[in-house]
Chains A and B, each alone.
Chain A
């Protein structure tokens, strides 16, 4: 079952199409990373999902309800943390948590206390006097303590130092171990979320490039290197699934997005009969970069 679904979700700002025909499905229980470079449309997508802005076309359903009809009942099951979210800075940490608690019947005071201790938050200090990292911790704590069914994080680690980032990730992992929730996390840097996510979607220029389980993604992507020994001069058109085919001297490099050992080796031998084929796994970062490049190249080609 999907906790978030979008159908042809589109949002335009004047002539700019920030999100175009987005079809996204976030499975329940997953930690879903929405990746892409700055301006890819991730934050706009999250704002559409949270009904912070209305869609120009299409529809989004969150927790089984149209995003435009999200009410207090659904919001009580959603945690939302964004890098630029306004917090009541004049309150102390304790006052802020007390204030939040009134709105959530499922607020877990034990969890609140545990996370307060883990994050080492000073309860009597006003939010205005906290560092950015501390503020994010407070925001995260106030969104976790009621054990939401869906946690939405919009660039939560942006601009944080690695130590704080690690603390936040560990805090989230600790809660996620208790199960029963779905996390949608947007980021422009895959390394930030690599440890957390089990699903990945990549967006670029408002379009969804792909969305897939991390495990499958890692399994089907390989960097293929073929050492040529007097092979053909022309690379020819690559078969479907080959991305970024290039030749440097006697070395041909390509990323195979449909890697299957035997089939890939066969395809290589057909094209480069005298070459030696090696296949190396890719990191999520390399995969997302390769896909983004391929997507842009395809759109340029189509536009031309």
Chain B
């Protein structure tokens, strides 16, 4: 065995029992996840509480796994400490580069291969195919790699577990204090700039940790490494305070565009003004302008769900507004198309405003009240850039409406756990689902923090369900009551109850259609972005918006 592998083997042996415990924490989450998918209770409230309790336990295991894993990475590095003159390895024929190589190899084995081996049965159990498993492994790499890098870097400049924990605590506390102080005094910025600042800060922090890790392994000059850490820390603070970089404007426009979408054209045309009332200033109103976007030549199956814009509105009298923000979209019609529904059924009244079915941009401005009326006569010109997220929808499950039936493709699995026929003729369907999720889904609250929409999930956005007859002559949108949504090892777990009224189910023409009905699930997977520079000579105020315009509200 080569000296490098001798070190790797030694580290693995040294950490074997803690690693077994850590792996048990991971496996425990899957066992609880499996139970979440299996749990059956007739009483919805009892079911929800039981599921929440199971999920609470799973969360405890997850927190334990993250925390313990973080400490274990540090223990791996500190097994051969770099900042201790008494360390065994420093007087032996082991170069810093060799030790770094050995530690990285041990890191991969213990914190990537091991969890992968533990997760593999779970992924297979949830119906992941090769592609899904490769993606899930990639997610694991990102999540575990990011976390490990922080622990790895800090462990190189500390000697014991206690000093490592203290260093973490001090750094986190200092960072929170500094950032809070900075943000309180700093002028407000666009959400995308905040997002860019956050991403830049993370990148600088990771870069700093990589630099001090390599530096410390190669030179063992701990004071200098701490100085580098301090410099990186200060740089992140400067970025958080002063960076005006806008990745949306400068970098993220260069998105991936699937070749099938080369012919897609985007146009803006209709605008809808909504006067949302006065501000604290006497002669000022908050005006929302919803600008409609039309996409032409979109191939079947593709939908735009969300996006970003950056542009300028110009009025004939010279007034100018520069705004950036999010594009709202709704891919429902595409889902019906994919299901093969003979006609797109009407959805619940008021569920989704008609305008939001097509992409639209929401521009908010504080304008003089005298200007609000003028807006209706002088609609502006819009020039800017649109980036729409492209999702490809596909039917991922068709489950017969029978207790115990299940189906799924591409990592999705839907199982009907029970059917309850109500006395009034209605039907309650209890389902358990699992689906692949993206790495960022593993960070609770990430999307909320970043200001993403209520759906909260970019990876598999827009799940659509319908109860359809086999020949698709009848399709009912499913009114769902989500019991629980949680995550376990890159797998999203969902428990839902779908309810149907007797009126919905009744069909005189096909009285037995339910016997052969299936629950169809359509999932949209992000496949890239479409980027276009768009310009209009004039926005046209939409008829629809005239009807929807709200009356100005007066503040008390």
**Does A223 touch B at the CB level, under 8 Å?**
no
Q: CB distance A102 to B1 under 8 Å?
A: yes
**Does A75 touch B at the CB level, under 8 Å?**
yes
Q: Which residues of B contact A50 (CB under 8 A)?
A: 90-91
The interface bits of chain B over 187-226 (1 if a CB of A lies within 8 angstroms of the residue's CB, else 0) are 0000000000000000000000000000000000100000
Q: Which residues of B contact A82 (CB under 8 A)?
A: 86
Check A76/B86 contact, CB under 8 A, given A90-B14, A99-B6: no
**Does B508 touch A at the CB level, under 8 Å?**
no
Q: CB distance A72 to B85 under 8 Å?
A: no
The interface bits of chain B over 1-39 (1 if a CB of A lies within 8 angstroms of the residue's CB, else 0) are 111001000100010000000000000000000000000
**Does A104 touch B at the CB level, under 8 Å?**
yes
**Does B84 touch A at the CB level, under 8 Å?**
yes
Q: CB distance B93 to A86 under 8 Å?
A: no
Q: Which residues of A contact B87 (CB under 8 A)?
A: 86
Q: CB distance B94 to A103 under 8 Å?
A: yes
Q: Which residues of B contact A104 (CB under 8 A)?
A: 93
**Does A53 touch B at the CB level, under 8 Å?**
yes
Considering the complex, give the chain B residue whose CB is closest to the CB of A72: B93
Question: Mostly helix, strand, loop or mixed at chain B's interface?
Answer: loop
Q: Which residues of B contact A73 (CB under 8 A)?
A: 93
Q: CB distance A88 to B86 under 8 Å?
A: no
How far is it, in angstroms, between the C-alpha of A90 and the C-alpha of B11 when the chains are bound? 11
How far is it, in angstroms, between the C-alpha of A249 and the C-alpha of B94 when the chains are bound? 63
Q: CB distance A84 to B86 under 8 Å?
A: yes
Nearest chain B CB to A140 CB, angstrom units? 13
How far is it, in angstroms, between the C-alpha of A71 and the C-alpha of B1 when the chains are bound? 21
Q: Which residues of A contact B93 (CB under 8 A)?
A: 72-73, 75-76, 103-104
**Does A26 touch B at the CB level, under 8 Å?**
no
Q: CB distance B98 to A72 under 8 Å?
A: yes
How far is it, in angstroms, between the C-alpha of A297 and the C-alpha of B2 when the chains are bound? 56
Cβ-defined partner of A86 (8 Å) among B1, B2, B84, B95: B84
Q: Which residues of B contact A52 (CB under 8 A)?
A: 85, 90-91
Most buried by B among A50, A100, A102: A102
Q: CB distance A86 to B92 under 8 Å?
A: no
Q: CB distance B88 to A72 under 8 Å?
A: no
The interface bits of chain B over 283-308 (1 if a CB of A lies within 8 angstroms of the residue's CB, else 0) are 00000000000000000000000000
Nearest chain B CB to A195 CB, angstrom units? 25
**Does A80 touch B at the CB level, under 8 Å?**
yes
Q: Which residues of B contact A87 (CB under 8 A)?
A: 88
Interface size on A, residues (CB 8 A): 24
Considering the complex, give the chain A residue whose CB is closest to the CB of B10: A99
Nearest chain A CB to B75 CB, angstrom units? 12
Q: Which residues of B contact A103 (CB under 8 A)?
A: 3, 6, 92-94
How far is it, in angstroms, between the C-alpha of A181 and the C-alpha of B292 when the chains are bound? 86
The interface bits of chain A over 96-116 (1 if a CB of B lies within 8 angstroms of the residue's CB, else 0) are 000110111000000000000
Q: CB distance A75 to B86 under 8 Å?
A: no
How far is it, in angstroms, between the C-alpha of A104 and the C-alpha of B14 when the chains are bound? 22
Cβ-defined partner of B10 (8 Å) among A47, A54, A72, A88: A88
How far is it, in angstroms, between the C-alpha of A221 and the C-alpha of B126 when the chains are bound? 87
How far is it, in angstroms, between the C-alpha of A88 and the C-alpha of B79 when the chains are bound? 9
Q: Which residues of A contact B86 (CB under 8 A)?
A: 82, 84-86
How far is it, in angstroms, between the C-alpha of A54 and the C-alpha of B92 when the chains are bound? 17
**Does A3 touch B at the CB level, under 8 Å?**
no
Most buried by A among B90, B91, B98: B91
How far is it, in angstroms, between the C-alpha of A100 and the C-alpha of B93 when the chains are bound? 10
Q: Which residues of B contact A85 (CB under 8 A)?
A: 86, 88, 91
How far is it, in angstroms, between the C-alpha of A87 and the C-alpha of B90 when the chains are bound? 12
**Does A78 touch B at the CB level, under 8 Å?**
yes
The interface bits of chain A over 211-227 (1 if a CB of B lies within 8 angstroms of the residue's CB, else 0) are 00000000000000000
Considering the complex, give the chain A residue whose CB is closest to the CB of B14: A90
The interface bits of chain A over 30-65 (1 if a CB of B lies within 8 angstroms of the residue's CB, else 0) are 000000000000000001001011100000000000
Most buried by A among B10, B86, B92: B92
Within residues 95 to 116 of chain B, which ones have a CB less than 8 A from any CB in chain A?
Answer: 95, 98
Check A102/B3 contact, CB under 8 A, given A50-B91, A76-B93, A80-B91: yes
Nearest chain A CB to B6 CB, angstrom units? 4
How far is it, in angstroms, between the C-alpha of A52 and the C-alpha of B220 when the chains are bound? 9
Check A72/B94 contact, CB under 8 A, given A53-B85, A86-B84, A102-B3: yes
How far is it, in angstroms, between the C-alpha of A53 and the C-alpha of B91 when the chains are bound? 12
Q: Which residues of A contact B3 (CB under 8 A)?
A: 102-103
Nearest chain B CB to A75 CB, angstrom units? 4
Q: Which residues of B contact A99 (CB under 8 A)?
A: 6, 10
Cβ-defined partner of B91 (8 Å) among A78, A84, A88, A90: A78
Q: CB distance B95 to A72 under 8 Å?
A: yes
Nearest chain B CB to A9 CB, angstrom units? 17
Cβ-defined partner of B88 (8 Å) among A53, A71, A75, A86: A86
Q: Which residues of B contact A100 (CB under 8 A)?
A: 92
Nearest chain B CB to A185 CB, angstrom units? 15
How far is it, in angstroms, between the C-alpha of A219 and the C-alpha of B78 when the chains are bound? 51
Nearest chain B CB to A118 CB, angstrom units? 23
Nearest chain B CB to A85 CB, angstrom units? 6
Considering the complex, give the chain A residue whose CB is closest to the CB of B4: A102
Considering the complex, give the chain A residue whose CB is closest to the CB of B79: A88
Nearest chain B CB to A94 CB, angstrom units? 13
Within residues 259 to 299 of chain A, which ones have a CB less than 8 A from any CB in chain B?
Answer: none
How far is it, in angstroms, between the C-alpha of A99 and the C-alpha of B221 when the chains are bound? 27
How far is it, in angstroms, between the C-alpha of A206 and the C-alpha of B87 when the chains are bound? 25
How far is it, in angstroms, between the C-alpha of A52 and the C-alpha of B90 when the chains are bound? 7
Q: CB distance B6 to A47 under 8 Å?
A: no
Q: CB distance B95 to A71 under 8 Å?
A: yes
How far is it, in angstroms, between the C-alpha of A73 and the C-alpha of B6 when the chains are bound? 18
Q: Which residues of A contact B98 (CB under 8 A)?
A: 72
Q: Which residues of B contact A78 (CB under 8 A)?
A: 91
How far is it, in angstroms, between the C-alpha of A84 and the C-alpha of B81 when the chains are bound? 15
Q: Which residues of A contact B84 (CB under 8 A)?
A: 86
How far is it, in angstroms, between the C-alpha of A78 and the C-alpha of B94 when the chains are bound? 12
How far is it, in angstroms, between the C-alpha of A121 and the C-alpha of B323 when the chains are bound? 78
Q: CB distance A75 to B1 under 8 Å?
A: no
Q: Which residues of B contact A80 (CB under 8 A)?
A: 91
Considering the complex, give the chain A residue whose CB is closest to the CB of B98: A72
Nearest chain B CB to A233 CB, angstrom units? 56
Q: CB distance B85 to A75 under 8 Å?
A: no
How far is it, in angstroms, between the C-alpha of A80 and the C-alpha of B93 when the chains are bound? 11
How far is it, in angstroms, between the C-alpha of A47 and the C-alpha of B84 when the chains are bound? 12
How far is it, in angstroms, between the C-alpha of A78 and the C-alpha of B3 when the chains are bound? 17
Q: Which residues of A contact B14 (CB under 8 A)?
A: 88, 90
How far is it, in angstroms, between the C-alpha of A99 and the C-alpha of B13 when the chains are bound? 12
How far is it, in angstroms, between the C-alpha of A252 and the C-alpha of B174 when the chains are bound? 70
Nearest chain B CB to A56 CB, angstrom units? 13
Q: CB distance B91 to A75 under 8 Å?
A: yes
How far is it, in angstroms, between the C-alpha of A86 and the C-alpha of B81 when the chains are bound? 10
How far is it, in angstroms, between the C-alpha of A85 and the C-alpha of B87 when the chains are bound? 7
How far is it, in angstroms, between the C-alpha of A97 and the C-alpha of B361 when the chains are bound? 70
Q: Which residues of B contact A88 (CB under 8 A)?
A: 10, 14, 88
Q: Which residues of A contact B91 (CB under 8 A)?
A: 50, 52, 75, 78, 80, 85
* 12 residue pairs bridging A and B, Cβ less than 8 Å apart: A47-B85, A72-B93, A76-B93, A78-B91, A86-B81, A86-B86, A86-B87, A86-B88, A88-B14, A102-B6, A103-B3, A103-B92
A-B pairs with lowest CB-CB distance, top 7: A72-B93, A80-B91, A76-B93, A102-B6, A75-B93, A52-B85, A86-B86
* Interface contacts beyond A54-B221, A103-B3: sample of 20 additional A-B pairs, CB < 8 Å, sorted by A: A50-B90, A52-B85, A53-B85, A72-B93, A75-B93, A76-B93, A78-B91, A80-B91, A84-B86, A85-B88, A86-B81, A86-B84, A86-B86, A88-B14, A88-B88, A90-B14, A100-B92, A102-B2, A103-B6, A103-B94
A: residues with CB less than 8 A from B are 47, 50, 52-54, 71-73, 75-76, 78, 80, 82, 84-88, 90, 99-100, 102-104
